[in-house]
Amino acid sequence: MTGTPLKTFFAPDSRSTVAAEAEARPAPAITVRGLGVRFGSKLALSGVDMDFPTGRITALIGPSGCGKTTLLRSLNRLHDTTPGARVLGSVHLGDLDVYAPEINPTEIRARIGMVFQRPNPFPTLSIYDNVVSGLRLNGIRKKAILNDAAESALQSAALWDSVSHKLKTSAMRLSGGEQQRLCIARALAVEPDVLLMDEPTSALDPIATSRIETLLRALVKQVTIIIVTHNMQQAARVSDYCAFLMVEEDRVGHLVEEGLTLQIFSKPADPRTEEYVTGRIG
Amino acid sequence: MSVVAASQVDRRTLIRQSARKSHRRRQIAGVVAAALCGLGLCIALVPLISIVALTVSKGIAAWSVDFFTRLPTPAGIPGGGIVNALVGSLIIDGLAAVMALPVGFIVALFLAEHEGRLANTVRFVVDVAAGLPAITIGLFAYAIVVLPEGHFSALSASVALAVLMLPIAIRAGETAIRTVPQDLWEAGIALGIRRARVARSLVIVSALPGLVTASLLAISRAIGEAAPLLFTAIGSQVFATSLGQPMASLSLVVYFDGIQPYPDLQRTAWGTALTLLVIVMLLNVSSRLLARRMRRFTR
């Protein structure tokens, strides 16, 4: 049952470079060692060691409750805002220890942007104000800078052409897919090194989903992307690297294996990975 | 395998027959229930409508241009008005709102964003405070402002009303802030914006329509209260604008003129009651309109 049919998941032209990359894995943008997360007395994730390669898309896959989102949110210290949550182990952004006591979490979050499952533009702000909110609310006032940032972020999110004439209208007037691209633009405007995406297309229709997937392939040239997805085909289509997490009866969420997406989907090392990617579990 | 067992056929027939029979019964039950709801609604509306009808019919006779523009006259002398009470209420309630609302909304933000023992304690205290009899609050203001100062004053009345408004502003404000989805917090935090800034520039702004409603609710509750003003503002026959002096207020006019044996003063009381009713109604309607307007995005 090894997956020749799985090959059909891959878009024909998407990653011709990736195969050649097998021996030259890029330097990590984010390194995690012994990462675990505890909510109150309940351990949700434990012992994750992994490198997220720079300038690549890494997909986190696995069945519900395996800790994909928990892992993602520990990278930008978003668990800080959850009462009772404790992150164990270490996360490094380049050489920077993300959880070092002297580190200001807001700086980390400006360098590691995030896009959520449901599009969450600020409802009271216009399209323009949404895009520049991360800059403006961090004290940048110069019109010229804000305008430049807004245009380039919207260009990167493939939204500029459709909204450039109505920047001052409410973000809520956009369609779901456009709202999600606006959220991507808003995250990009802060010029992050890494972009975390938590099932960014699960609330979108197939056309909007495919637009975002295309966008991700274009974006990865400028920013490292880590994406959580429930959709195996999506992981196969967009990611360069793939990490499979799992929760088992006697073991909390943990990393089973990670590697090149092609390899994970065609000849995974662990039988559980194979069962999952071929749809027999999860 | 496709043949259905005989017992299953019997059961199906039984279920369908029984459904048909009970349909009629359920229809009747539905009509009865709807009628009961209607009856309950009428019973609830009767006192409300009679109060409004009585106040309008008795109060409208007192209304005139003079009523709103002139100072009160002694019993028996026609042409008196309540302009001092109108202005007095405006000053007393306005000052009370300025004192209570900002503090109230800051506490509301705290309650909406923090779980834990301190938040629960604060919430409990606020709930108790909301149930405090208004007259007790008046006594409190008397003790902490009037006694030390040695005289009645509009300021002491504002303090009393501020204490009265505070729990309303806190609880209504908390509800308004809680309606802002958690998504929005996370969106802001994940952009690397400081928590305080997210609260101020994104959450509060989104909660603004609700906060406006909360403000007007608190003000309209306070404006009709007479008890907290009895030994604070105490009322006045003259046009007072100084916070250090006794001041007239609409609710006090209703109370003091209403208990007089003179028909013209009683008429003034009704006219003032109608004025209060209209003000409260306007506050409610405008809070709704304003909230709707703010929700509709225009820029």
**pLDDT, tens digit (0-9, with 9 covering 90-100), for B8-55:** 888 888 888 888 888 888 899 999 999 999 999 999 999 999 999 999
Tell which A residues from 112 to 141 touch B, by Cβ distance under 8 Å. Answer: 113-114, 116, 118, 120-124, 126, 133-134, 137-138
Q: Is the pLDDT reported for residue B199 higher than 70?
A: yes
Residue of B nearest to A185 (CA): B191
CB contacts of A134 in chain B (<8 Å) are 191-193
pLDDT in tens, B114-148: 888 999 999 999 999 999 999 999 999 999 999 99
Helix (H, G, I), strand (E, B) or coil at A76: coil
Q: Are strands A57-61 and A42-53 parallel, antiparallel or unpaired?
A: unpaired
Q: Mean pLDDT, to the nearest integer, of A254-273? A: 92
Cβ density class B233-257: b for 16+ within 10 Å, e for less: bbbbeeebeeeebbbbbbbbbbbbb
Whether A113 sits inside 8 A of B191 (CB atoms) is yes
**Range scoring the smallest mean pLDDT among A185-194, A273-282, B93-102:** A273-282
Classify the complex by whether its ipTM is higher than 0.95, answering yes or no: no
Model confidence at B206, pLDDT cuts 50, 70, 90, reads confident
Q: What is the pLDDT of residue A82?
A: 86
Cβ-contact A247, A71 below 8 angstroms: no
* pLDDT value of residue A23: 56
Burial of A107 (0-12, 13-18, 19+ CB in 10 A): middle
Percentage, residues of chain A above pLDDT 70? 91
Burial (CB count <10 Å: 0-12, 13-18, 19+), residue A117: middle
The per-residue pLDDT for range A184-202, each reduced to its tens digit, is 999 999 999 999 999 999 9
Q: Which residues contact B89 (CB under 8 A, 6 or more apart)?
A: B223, B249, B250, B251
Q: What is the mean pLDDT of residues B254-261?
A: 91
What single-letter amino acid sits at A68? K
Would you list the DSSP string of B71-125?
----TT-S----HHHHHHHHHHHHHHHHHHHHHHHHHHHHHHH--SHHHHHHHHH
Average pLDDT over residues B274-289: 91
Contact residues, chain A, for B206 at CB < 8 Å: 122-124
The predicted model gives B174-201 an average pLDDT of 90
B175 in reach of chain A (CB within 8 A): no
Q: Taking a C-beta distance cutoff of 8 angstroms, is the pair B249, B235 a contact?
A: yes
B189 contacts on A by Cβ (under 8 Å): 78, 81, 109
Instruction: Please enumerate in sequence order all residues whose Cβ is within 8 A of that of A256, keeping only pairs 6 or more positions apart, or say none.
Output: A62, A244, A245, A246, A270, A272, A273
Instruction: Determine the pLDDT at residue B2.
Output: 55
Using the Cβ of B185 and the Cβ atoms of chain A, whether some distance falls under 8 Å is answered with yes
Task: Residue A131: name the closest of A149, A117, A110 by CA.
Answer: A149
From chain A, the residues in CB contact with B203 under 8 A are: none
What residues of chain A lie within 8 A of the CB of B209, using their CB? none
pLDDT higher than threshold 60 for residue A251: yes
Q: What is the pLDDT of residue A8?
A: 45
Those residues whose C-beta lies under 8 Å from the C-beta of residue B23, and which sit 6 or more positions away, are none
In this complex, is the C-beta atom of B190 within 8 Å of any C-beta atom belonging to chain A?
yes
Helix axes B263-295, B250-258, angle to 10 degrees: 150
In this prediction, residue B189 carries a pLDDT of 92
pLDDT at B296: 58
The CA-atom distances, in angstroms, between B144 and each of B85, B139, B147 are: 24, 9, 6
**Mean pLDDT, chain B, whole residue set:** 90
Q: Tell me the pLDDT band of B290, cut-offs 50, 70 and 90.
A: confident
Q: Percent of chain B beyond pLDDT 90?
A: 58
Residue B168 scores a pLDDT above 90: yes
Q: What's the pLDDT score for residue A15?
A: 52
Pick the CATH number of A5-277 from 2.40.10.220, 3.50.50.60, 3.40.630.30, 3.40.50.300: 3.40.50.300
Q: A105 to chain B: nearest residue by CA?
A: B192
Whether A2 shows a pLDDT value over 50: the answer reads: no
The 10s digit of each residue's pLDDT in A132-145 is 999 998 888 899 99
Rounded to whole angstroms, how far apart are CA atoms A73 and A55? 20
Question: What average pLDDT does range A91-103 have in this prediction?
Answer: 93
Q: What is d(CA B119, CA B170) in angstroms, rounded to the nearest whole number? A: 12
- Name the minimum distance, in Å, from the CA of A262 to any CA of chain B: 31
Q: State pLDDT tens for residues A37-57.
A: 999 999 999 999 999 999 999
Interhelix angle B263-295/B204-223, rounded to 10 degrees, is: 170
